[in-house]
Amino acid sequence: MSSHPRDFIGESRRLNPAVRTFLVCHSYGSVVCARAAHGLRVADIVLCESPGTGYGNAADLHTPATVRAGRGSDDWIADVPHMKRQPPFADIGFATDPVSPEFGAEIFGAGDGSHSDYLKPGSLPLKNIARIVAGTAKSAEPSGERHA
């Protein structure tokens, strides 16, 4: 059995063709989700408290999914340098900040929480993630944040 997300999602769709699939990617999981995004048949990719994806913008993920991002105003991950360098031995950095306009994700409100508050019961980010998952994201509360 393969462990690639594409196989899992494909099997889910085979069992229920009407299933609406999405990825919620937390912290460094955003890098993992971005690398798996190409070719995945998912409706949404939600990047929470992401240091970056390793890609310059949402279009570079080569996915028909709606890419969304949110970050709480007290999240230390905002201080991670958003750059990417490619010396001969390895890639360094996570590239463009997913909540920046340059990345091109749809931004959802994540309130004033810190790095571990996104799934806290009753929190703004959890409510907005639930709206995305339910397919009612147009009702997601905006972030109200400004990003450089």
* 145 domain residue, yes or no: no
- Interval 35-62: pLDDT, tens: 888 878 888 999 988 888 888 899 999 9
Q: Which two tokens stand for residue 144?
A: 């109200």
**Residue 5: which of 26, 27, 21 has the closest Cα?**
21
Number of domains in the chain: 1
141 found inside a domain: no
Beta strand extents in the chain (DSSP E only): 22-26, 44-48, 66-70, 106-107
List the structure tokens of 89: 């031995």
The pLDDT value recorded for residue 88 is 65
Domain that holds residue 89: 5-136
Q: What letter represents residue 7's amino acid?
A: D
Confidence band, pLDDT 50/70/90 cuts, at residue 17: confident
Average pLDDT in the 110-137 region? Answer: 85
- Identify the pLDDT of residue 1: 47
In a domain, 147, yes or no: no
Instruction: Among 7-21, 69-83, 101-115, 130-144, name the one with the lowest average pLDDT.
Output: 130-144
pLDDT of residue 116: 78
Residues contacting residue 125 through CB under 8 Å, at least 6 positions apart:
48, 70, 72, 108, 109, 110, 111, 113, 117, 118, 119
- How confident is the model over 10-15, as a mean pLDDT? 82
Residues whose CB falls within 8 Å of the CB of residue 30, separated by 6 or more in sequence, listed in order: 47, 48, 50, 51, 52, 53, 98
Q: Distance between CA atoms of 43 and 68, rounded to whole angstroms?
A: 11
Q: Read off the pLDDT of residues 65-111 as tens digits, 9 standing for 90 and up.
A: 999 999 888 876 777 766 565 656 656 556 788 998 999 999 998 88
Average pLDDT over residues 132-136: 86
CATH of the domain at 112: 3.40.50.1820
CB atoms within 10 A of CB 47: 29
Q: Would you give the distance in Å from CA 57 to the centre of its chain?
A: 12
In this prediction, residue 19 carries a pLDDT of: 79
- Residue 99: inside a domain: yes
Cβ partners under 8 Å of residue 14, min gap 6:
none
Q: Is 33 helix (H, G, I), strand (E, B) or coil?
A: helix
